[in-house]
Amino acid sequence: MPDLFLTIFFISILLFFLGSGIWVAISMVGVSAMGMMIFTSRPVGDAMATTIWGTSSSWTLTALPLFVWMGEILFRTKLSENLFKGLAPWMSRLPGGLIHVNVVGCALFAAISGSSAATVATVGKMSIPELRKRNYPEKLLLGSLAGSGTLGLLIPPSIILIIYGVTVQESIAKLFIAGIIPGIMIALIFMLYVVVWSLINKKQMPSFSEKFSINEKIKRSKQLLPVILLISSVIGSIYLGIATATEAASLGVVGALILSFFQKTLNKETFKLSLLGATKTSCMIAFILAGSSFLSLAMGFTGLPRNLAIWIQEMSLSPYLLIIVLMIFYIILGMFLDGISAVVLTMAIIEPMIRQAGFDMIWFGIFLVVVVEMAQITPPVGFNLFVLQGMAKKDMGFIARSAFPLFILMILAVFLIIIFPELALWLPEQMIQNIR
């Protein structure tokens, strides 16, 4: 194996820093600086300053704080309440009843949030009390919410897809469009699971179902119109080639502010809180990305990624075996790191392998995000589990067990994306044709 000492050095020092409780970004900068000082003759200070400034001032990255801000604004609106009221009449007659509101509500909010934790918190703060009041099984309630909340990472606008796109220098717009069909597919798989579970466990389901007239359904559906309009304006503008991802993000922020104004939730305090929340999150992510870029540069100077790619090629490892190994690797990594950190920490090494194996980087981005989604519901560092633990007042073990069936379903979704890559690639190709 080439450069075994270099590989062990980078991984060992990085794990030591992370285990010491040092911030992820500072850990990456520290490892990079040490690696360059020991193994190269390049001035570390100049390289660090140039790389960090270049990454932080990237125009592509501008979409990130805007989408984060949009999610922060909507988090403080009556959106979850309106989602429940608008979806409940249509879902109540399906096998599984109002549990489907969790899945569809999370899918809709994911399309205007970009954050998994925000999706779970927003939908959960309304659905948990309502579904408990109607005596829905706690296991199905929390499991469906934990699993469906992961759609916030995949269905555009996705924060992690922006980060991936910036890291591997791929089109953010293409990545956004590529996430639509897999996101809808996973939501449908979850809904099918709810149907099957409820049919098998009829005795645990509520014995009554609410009935709504057509007029009542239509009347309540009006609650969904603002959400649908916002989603259509953001995603539609990208798909039709009218706006870039950054311009669509600006449109989304304006739409979110208008929505919160008419819902009478926009005041000086909520505006200030949304701005502060977006600033903190965006700075944290930008700092991690800057550290990741410097780590990539340091590894590039040592020649490690290039030699690793050559080594993979010489092993004659089949592309699909490589993908399976990477899936297992990211699932294990996700047990200890959040999704953003897992992606930026590894792409410097993983990207050359994937390109060498001949995989489309847009497709791999969708594959990677679905795998990272699984990490959101795996202990000990499952962000969705932490959010639900605080909201549902249940122990972590119960919530993790409730989410486990959906974890298995996500593995099924990954295999479907591997077998049928068109699930991720067809829509971006159509977008290119529309732009032409």
CA torsion angle for 341, 115, 148, 326 (degrees, to 10)? -20
Q: What is the pLDDT of residue 119?
A: 81
Measuring CA to CA, which residue among 344, 412, 410 is closest to residue 378? 410
d(CA 23, CA 64): 20
Burial 143-165 (b: 16+ CB within 10 A, else e): bbbbbbbbbbbbbbbbbbbbbbb
Q: Which position has the token pair 């298995």?
A: 408
pLDDT-derived band at 1 (thresholds 50, 70, 90) equals: very low
User: Which amino acid is located at 83 in the chain?
Assistant: L
Q: What is the pLDDT of residues 325-379, one digit of tens each?
A: 888 888 877 776 667 777 877 787 788 888 888 899 999 999 999 998 887 788 7
What tokens does 397 get?
């073990």
Q: How many domains does the chain have?
A: 1
- Mean pLDDT over 382-393 rounds to 78
Between 10 and 99, residue with greater pLDDT: 99
Residues 6+ apart with CB under 8 A from 153: 110, 115, 116, 159, 160, 161, 339, 369, 372, 373, 376
d(CA 109, CA 414): 22
- Mean pLDDT over 110-123 rounds to 78
Phi, psi of 80 (to 5 degrees): -65, -40
d(CA 288, CA 347): 13
Q: Which 3 state secondary structure label does DSSP give 281?
A: helix
Q: What is the pLDDT of residues 20-50, one digit of tens each?
A: 777 777 887 888 888 888 877 778 888 888 8
CB atoms under 10 Å from CB of 311, counted, come to: 16
Residues 6+ apart with CB under 8 A from 313: 356
pLDDT-derived band at 418 (thresholds 50, 70, 90) equals: very high
Residue 76 near residue 122, CB atoms below 8 Å:
no
d(CA 33, CA 329): 26
Range of the domain at 160: 4-435
Q: What is the pLDDT of residues 229-240, one digit of tens each?
A: 888 888 888 778
- CA atoms within a 13 Å half-sphere pointing along the CA-CB vector of 22: 15
pLDDT-derived band at 57 (thresholds 50, 70, 90) equals: confident
Burial 55-73 (b: 16+ CB within 10 A, else e): beeeebbbbbbbbbbbbbb
Q: What is the pLDDT of residue 171?
A: 87
